[in-house]
Amino acid sequence: MLEFKGVRKSFGPLQILKGVDVEIGKGDVVVILGPSGSGKTTLLRCLNFLERADAGTARLGSLEVDLNRATKKEVHAVRQKTAFVFQNYNLFNNKTALENVMEGLITGRKQPKETARKKAAAALDKVGLSDKYDAYPVQLSGGQQQRVGIARALALDPEVILFDEPTSALDPELVGEVLGVMRQIAADGTTMLVVTHEMQFAKDVASQVVFMDDGVIVEAGTPGQIFDRPAEERTKRFLRRVL
């Protein structure tokens, strides 16, 4: 249902993505693992046009675009089908939780304010923040702020949610509540592409684990294949370090 092919990206002389292919089925949770600096975040950013790839194609259902040459209209079309959860939440500090979730619905999806308000409330309920509609980010813990970030993505009802290390900015005691919400929305059938260092989450929730190193996909498979029977030496070495 979603397919990214041949994604390449350099920053100056440094080739960060060297031709990456990813396929995601409807309702799948694909987890991307890999050492720091291997290009995981850059890949997600290219898929959502937060960075412009040097080459590659994206297919989302019937929509097919060139990641390098996409027109404004195509970029908009891809963004209509995707949502992004940022490492640092990226909330508007001068807006309440509810307003943060409504914003994308009103400006991006051109929905009437009342519809947006209802959808935003439902999304905040889903992530366990029904008592925080009127709270500003500064009044929320990091875990709660990230749950607003997830609610904002959910409210858009995208075909896929891209998660960029959603728990890595959190104090350890706040990680669990965010992973809990992610587990729940995965169980609801949300299609997710997740960059994370949370190995237990990958083991429990992933339909597919992708191991990336140095701008390429070294291997991909089920959690059982990657964690219990990795084929590649690079994967084994990484897992020995992190497990």
- Give the range of 30-38, 118-126, 171-179, 198-206 binding ligand ADP by CB under 6 A: 30-38
Q: What share of the chain is helix, strand, coil (3-state, %, to 5)?
A: 40, 25, 35
CB of 44 to ligand ADP, least distance (A): 8
Residue 123 or residue 211: which is nearer to ligand ADP going by CB? 211
Give the orientation angle of helix 172-187 with respect to helix 113-126, to 10 degrees: 110
CA dihedral 199, 203, 207, 208 (to 10 degrees): 50
Does 40 sit near ligand ADP (CB under 6 A)? yes
Q: Where in the chain does DSSP place strands (E)?
A: 2-11, 14-24, 29-33, 55-60, 63-66, 82-85, 160-164, 192-195, 208-213, 216-221
Joined tokens for residue 127: 């992530």
Binding residues for ligand ADP, rule CB under 6 A, total: 10
Residue 41 or residue 235: which is nearer to ligand ADP going by CB? 41
Residue 34 or residue 104: which is nearer to ligand ADP going by CB? 34
Does 37 sit near ligand ADP (CB under 6 A)? yes
Q: Provide CB contacts within 8 A for 213, sequence distance 6+.
A: 34, 35, 38, 234, 238
Site map 114..153 versus ligand ADP, x via CB under 6 A: ----------------------------------------
**What part of residues 210-239 is at the interface with ligand ADP (CB under 6 A)?**
none
- Give the range of 32-40, 95-103, 118-126, 202-210 binding ligand ADP by CB under 6 A: 32-40
CB of 41 to ligand ADP, least distance (A): 3
Using CB under 6 A, which of 42, 111, 145, 196 touches ligand ADP? 42
Does 56 sit near ligand ADP (CB under 6 A)? no
Distance CA 220, CA 239 (A): 14
Q: Provide CB contacts within 8 A for 146, sequence distance 6+.
A: 85, 89, 166, 167, 169, 170, 178
Residue 16 or residue 175: which is nearer to ligand ADP going by CB? 16
CB of 109 to ligand ADP, least distance (A): 28
Q: Where in 69-227 does DSSP place strands (E)?
A: 82-85, 160-164, 192-195, 208-213, 216-221
Distance CA 39, CA 211 (A): 11
- Short-list 50, 93, 83, CA closest to 151: 83
Using CB under 6 A, which of 24, 30, 33, 41 touches ligand ADP? 41
Residue 20 or residue 140: which is nearer to ligand ADP going by CB? 20
**What part of residues 4-23 is at the interface with ligand ADP (CB under 6 A)?**
11, 16
Residues near ligand ADP (CB under 6 A) are 11, 16, 34, 36-42
